[in-house]
Structure 1
Amino acid sequence: MSSDPWGRVDETGTVYVRTADGEKVVGSWQAGSPEEALAYFERKYEGLVVEIGLLEKRVKTTDLSAKDALAAVEHLREQVDAHHAVGDLDALRARLDKLVELVEARREERKAQRAKQSDEARSAKEALVAEAEELAQSDQWRAAGERLRALVDTWKGLPRLDRKSDDELWHRFSHARSAFSKRRKQHFAQLDAQREEARRTKERLVAEAEALSNSTDWGPTAARYRDLMAEWKAAGRAQREHEDDLWNRFRGAQDVFFAARSSVFAERDAEQAENLKLKEELAEEAEKLLPIRDLKAARAAFRSVNERWEAIGHVPRDARPRVEGRMHAVERAIQEAEEAEWRRTNPEARARAEGLTGQLQAAVDKLRSQIEQARAQGNNAKADKLEKELEGRQALLDQALKGLQEFGG
């Protein structure tokens, strides 16, 4: 009979293994010596050790599922419990028990991890839904549209939740995107209608602008172009493919008109500058007539200057008051001289002046006589009263005499 610490072979060739529960029959060996029998079943034991070691490594280092790991453990346990090997089978059972504990712990870890990932995914998807619902009300069509597309990509990268929760959140998310798309479509449809209306309005404005481009009615046409520009700005933008062409036509028509007006105005300005020079020379010639000494000669000379003045065209508007004021000053001086001459030579006015002067002189002489008489009679109060009256009449007489002198009298 042969034996070792974990097994033995009896005289009949039966092989036993020692366990905590006592000896267990491993098998029968008739093909060789007892030592060979033990060596054979010890190799079977080593095979189990290797398999258990490999399974332990897989459980610790790979993502082997708990189900597959426990199935592998059960398969090895069946082999250990079959007692077809010689070795410390109790130690192998203990290793398998620990391996079961490890798999269960890993399963709980993964379950907790999946729960955490699910919570994180739920929070992430709820955040995506909240942002999408906010974006659904945005009028920033380009930016909001791009952001919603980015949210879809983010959603696709997140783990699925339970079917009910995932479907509910996706429904809200999808509804927000649809609401935004509907609003954007309505906006651009309205915008297209507005731009079409703007195009029709601007076509009309362009037609009128082109019709006015050859006008020489400078003031009213320029004013109308200003009105057309105001209408253009109020019309809004047409479609991009029409806007630039319409603007180029509209602006081109204005450029034709204003270029022609500028050319004419430039010629007019040059002509008016020359007219101003001539009128300044005439104003200087008229001013040499002052002061008026010979009214008849001055009047004839001014008439000659004025005829030449009238023959000259317009001067620049800003210079007109100054140069015309110089001529008006000379004209007023001649008119004043004429009025003075008329007053001096008017016989009716002279007669009236002489008559008034005579009456006042008689009244003054009478008052003086009355004053002398009152003083002689000692009536000083009456004399004083008459003297005050005399002062008034004397003042009127002095004024009348002065007027009479204007007639050369």
Structure 2
Amino acid sequence: MSSDPWGRVDETGTVYVRTADGEQVVGSWQAGSPEEALAYFERKYEGLVVEIGLLEKRVKTTDLSAKDAQTAVDHLREQVDAHHAVGDLDALRARLDKLVALVETRREERKAQRAKQSDEARGAKEALVAEAEELARSDQWRAAGERLRSLVDTWKGLPRLDRKSDDELWHRFSHARSAFSKRRKQHFAQLDAQREEARRTKERLVAEAEALSNSTDWGPTAARYRDLMSEWKAAGRAQREHEDDLWNRFRGAQDVFFAARSSVFAERDAVQAENLKLKEELAEEAEKLLPVTDLKAARAAFRTVNERWEAIGHVPRDARPKVEGRMHAVERALQEAEETEWRRTNPEARARAEGLTGQLQAAVDKLRSQIEQARAQGNNAKADKLERELEGRQALLDQALKGLHEFGG
């Protein structure tokens, strides 16, 4: 018979292992010596030690699931409980018991971690839903669309929640995206319709602008072009592929008209500038007729100057008042000279002036006599009143005498 601290072999070849519950039969060994039997079953024990050590390491250092770990523990426990090894089996059971407790701890930790991750994922998805619902009301079509696509990628990277919660949040998220897509589609459909309407309007404006490009009715046509430009701006933009071409045609038609007008106006301005020079020379010639000494000769000379004036044509608008004013001043001076001459040589007017002067002189003489008489009588109040009346009559008389003097009287 052979033995060691953990087992023995009896004379029949039966191998025993010592445990806290007493000896347990390991097996029967008939192939060799007892020492070889103990060595064989001790190697079995060492194998269990290695397997338990590896499992302990896997549980502590890898993400081995609690279920798989427990299955491995149960498998090893069955081997230990089968007593097919010689060694400290109670120590192995104790290690397996600790391993079970460790697996359970890891199970609770992972459960708590999963709960935390689930809460974080729920919070993240609720935040994504809230942002998506806010974006669904946005009119920033490009930026909002790109952001929604980014949110989808973020959503896909988050862990799933329980089916009910995940489905509810996804439904809201998907609904927000659909609402935005619907609004964007409606917006661009409306925009396309507006641009098509703008295209038709601008084609009509281009046609009219091109029809007017050869007009020589400068003022009304220029005004119409201004109206067309206002209508163009109010029409909005056409589709990109049409807008530039329509604008180039529209602007080109205007350029043709305004270039022609500028050419004509430049030529007209040159002519009018020359006309102004000629009229200034005539105005200077007319001004030399003043002061009038020979009315008949001055009138004849002015008539000649005026005929040449009328034949010249237009001058620049801003210079017209000044140069015409010079001619009008000479003409007024001639008219005044004619009126003076007429008054001087008109017999009827002279007679009327002499009669009026005589009447006023008689009235003045009479008032002076009455004033002297009133003073002599001591009636100063009457005399003062008569003197005031005398002042008025004397003024009329002085004016009448001046008029009579004009007649050479």
Normalised by the shorter chain, which TM-score bucket? over 0.9
Structure 1 residues 372 and 214 mapped into 2: Cα distance closer, same or farther (>3 Å)?
A: closer
Match of 2:200 in 1: 200
Q: Quickly say closer, same or farther: Cα 1:50–1:346, change in 2 above 3 A.
A: same
**Gap change, CA 1:257 and 1:377, over 3 Å in 2:** closer
In structure 2, how many angstroms separate the alpha carbons of the residues matched to 1:206 and 1:273?
Answer: 37
Moved more, 382-391 or 355-364: 382-391
Q: 1:280 to 1:379 in 2, by over 3 A?
A: closer
- In structure 2, the CA distance between the partners of 1:347 and 1:83, relative to structure 1 (3 Å rule), is same
CA deviation after TM superposition for structure 1 residue 195, in Å: 1.4
Query: Deviation at 1:379?
Result: 7.2
Post-superposition offset of 1:6? 1.2
CA distance in 1, matches of 2:381, 2:35: 188
Once the two structures are TM-superposed, the CA of residue 388 in structure 1 deviates from its matched residue by 5.1
Equivalent position of 1:382 in the other structure:
382
Which segment is superposed worse, 363-372 or 23-32?
363-372
Partners of 1:179 and 1:213 lie apart in 2 by 50
Per mean C-alpha deviation after superposition, the further-off stretch among 10-19 and 77-86 is 10-19
Deviation at 1:113, TM superposition (A): 1.2
CA gap of 1:356–1:98, structure 2 versus 1, over 3 A, is same
Shift of 1:75: 0.9
1:263 maps to 263
> 1:341 offset after TM fit, Å?
1.2
3-state SS, counterpart of residue 26 of structure 1:
strand
Deviations 1:327-365 (A, max 9, x none): 111111111111111111111110001111222233334
Which sits farther off after the overlay, 31-40 or 259-268? 31-40
The DSSP-based 3-state class of the residue aligned with 1:24 is strand
Q: Which moved more, 1:73-82 or 1:378-387?
A: 378-387
Say which SS state the counterpart of residue 16 (structure 1) adopts. strand
**Whole-Å Cα distance in 2 between the matches of residues 180 and 383 of structure 1?**
109
CA separation in 1, counterparts of 2:375 and 2:353?
Answer: 33
Cα distance in 2 for partners of 1:196, 1:202 equals 10
- Deviation digits for residues 50-107 of structure 1, max 9, x if unmatched? 1111111121222221111111111111111111111111111111111111111111
**2:106 is the alignment partner of 1:99:** no
SS of residue paired to 1:153: helix
- The number of aligned residues is 409
TM-score (ref. length: structure 1) = 0.95
- 1:376 and 1:165, CA in 2 relative to 1: closer, same or farther beyond 3 A? closer
Matches within 5 A, 1:1-400: 1-369=1-369, 389-400=389-400
Query: SS where residue 117 of structure 2 aligns?
Result: helix
Counterpart Cα distance in 2 of 1:368 and 1:119: 128
CA distance in 2, matches of 1:223, 1:23: 123
Greater displacement, 342-351 / 291-300: 291-300
CA apart distance, 1:12: 2.5
**Structure 1's 157 and 255: CA in aligned 2 closer, same or farther, altered over 3 A?**
same
| 1:268 match: secondary structure | helix
1:11 positional shift: 2.5
Report the Cα distance in structure 2 between the residues aligned to 1:49 and 1:397, rounded to whole angstroms.
Answer: 158
* Cα distance, 1:47 vs structure 2: 0.8
Q: 2:45 and 2:381 mapped to 1: Cα distance?
A: 174
Change beyond 3 A, Cα 1:217–1:392: closer
Deviations 1:148-191 (A, max 9, x none): 11111111111111111111111111111111111111111111
Provide Cα deviations, 1:269-308, integer angstroms capped at 9, x if missing partner. 1111111111111111112222222222221221121111
Please report how far the alpha carbon of residue 398 of structure 1 lies from its aligned counterpart in structure 2 after TM superposition: 2.5
SS of corresponding position for 1:27: strand
Q: Percent of aligned positions with the same letter in both sequences?
A: 95
Per the alignment, do residues 310 and 17 of structure 1 end up closer, same or farther by CA in structure 2, a change over 3 Å counting? same
Q: Do the aligned partners of residues 66 and 274 (structure 1) sit closer, same or farther apart at CA in structure 2, a change above 3 Å counting?
A: same
Distance 1:18 1:315, change over 3 A: same
Q: Quote the offset at 1:250 in angstroms.
A: 1.0
Evaluate the alpha carbon distance shift between residue 126 and residue 382 of structure 1 in structure 2; reply closer, same or farther with a 3 A threshold: closer
Cα deviation for residue 389 of structure 1 reads 4.6
- CA-CA distance at 1:262 after TM superposition: 0.6
Change (3 A) 1:391 1:27: closer
Q: Determine the C-alpha separation between the residues in 1 that align with 2:149 and 2:377.
A: 131
Gaps of 5+ in 1: none
